[in-house]
Amino acid sequence: MDERIEKIMKAAEYMRSRIGNRKPSVGIVLGSGLGKLADRIEDPITVPYREIPGFPVSTAIGHKGNFIFGRLGGKDVLAMQGRFHYYEGYPMELVTLPIRVMKVLGIGCLFVSNAAGGVNFDFKVGDLMVIRDHINLLPNPLVGRNLDEFGPRFPDMTRPYDPKLIEKAETVAAELGITLKKGVYLAGTGPSYETPSEYRYFRMIGADAVGMSTIPEVIVARHSSIPVFGMSVITNEAHDDYAEDYENNGDDVVAAADAAADRMSLLFARLIESL
């Protein structure tokens, strides 16, 4: 057996030993400072990543490092309370391992979230941006031998974020009185924040928000034909006209994400309920 498949299956088997025969219908990835959604999960079963065979440990600020299984919006869900990043030194195989495990466990769709800098001048700190498309400046996680058991060599990425889920999210947000932005998310390697000239460049090539995650997970999900809904919380204004003494700060990003997490959590819960 391909050693990558073996690693995926061992991790999935361990998760089954913890959650029993129940099958999560939705997988959720919670980004920096966005772990609050996990508090909404009912009857939670918490599985630290360090206990799962073959799993790395999340080292990023604002990432607790747990799988949480339980009920949200009347559905069985499996949430990642913290993700893995390429900048932590992990290869893409490990960055995306949890998504493969979720696929084996039976998820029917994937919700991803992140904290992002708003390069769009119309975006303000605390805005929620539905991701309608992305620009990938990270290594593609599908490079190497294809995992035929999961999907084709050349998966289509015409609609990486599911139009029907986006439409439902807009309906739910309107009912809740939550204002949404829509835009293109760009991911770079990090871990350094971008320069003002890079922010200007990203805006010129069509990005609305910039971060260091999410896209590898989306590519792997789409490789397996899993519908994806994505959301960025705008945690800083990633512009190129800063004051002389301005600097980006990781703690400030997490604090801004935490402040917006309640609205995002409510929206995710209601959207899952509507599925």
Any binding-site annotation on 83? yes
Instruction: Consult the annotation and say whether 32 binds a ligand.
Output: yes
| Separation CA 275–CA 145 (nearest Å) | 34
Q: Is 239 annotated as a binding residue?
A: no
Asked whether residue 259 is marked as a ligand-binding residue, the answer is no
Q: Which amino acid is at 82?
A: G
Residue 63 annotated as lining a ligand binding site: yes
Q: Is 4 annotated as a binding residue?
A: no
22 is in an annotated binding site: no
Pick the closest to residue 226 from 150, 131, 132, 153 (CA basis): 150
* Residue found under tokens 């971060």: 211
- Full 3-state SS string of 103-139: HHHCCCEEEEEEEEEECCCCCCCCCEEEEEEEEECCC
CB 45 within 8 A of CB 77: no
DSSP-based three-state secondary structure for 71:
strand
Tokens of 209: 């928000």
Scan for tokens 């035929």, then name that residue. Answer: 148
- Tell whether 149 is in a known binding site: no
- State the Cα torsion 164-170-175-177 to the nearest 10°: 160
Q: Determine if residue 213 is labeled as part of a ligand binding site.
A: yes
Instruction: Supply the pLDDT for residue 267.
Output: 95
Residues near 241 by beta carbon (within 8 Å), at least 6 away in sequence: 196
> Are 272 and 40 spatial neighbours (Cβ–Cβ below 8 Å)?
no
Q: 126-167 pLDDT, tens per residue?
A: 999 999 999 999 999 999 999 999 999 999 999 999 999 999
The Cα–Cα gap between 82 and 56 comes to: 12
pLDDT digits (tens), the chain, 275 positions: 789 999 999 999 999 999 999 999 999 999 876 777 888 999 999 999 999 999 987 776 655 789 999 999 999 999 999 899 999 999 999 999 999 999 999 999 999 999 999 999 999 999 999 999 999 999 999 999 999 999 999 999 999 999 999 999 999 999 999 999 999 999 999 999 999 999 999 999 999 999 999 999 999 999 999 999 999 999 888 776 665 666 666 677 777 777 788 899 999 999 999 99
CA distance 107 to 17: 17
Task: Please tell me the pTM assigned to this model.
Answer: 0.94
Task: Output the CA torsion 202→207→208→212 (10° steps).
Answer: -80
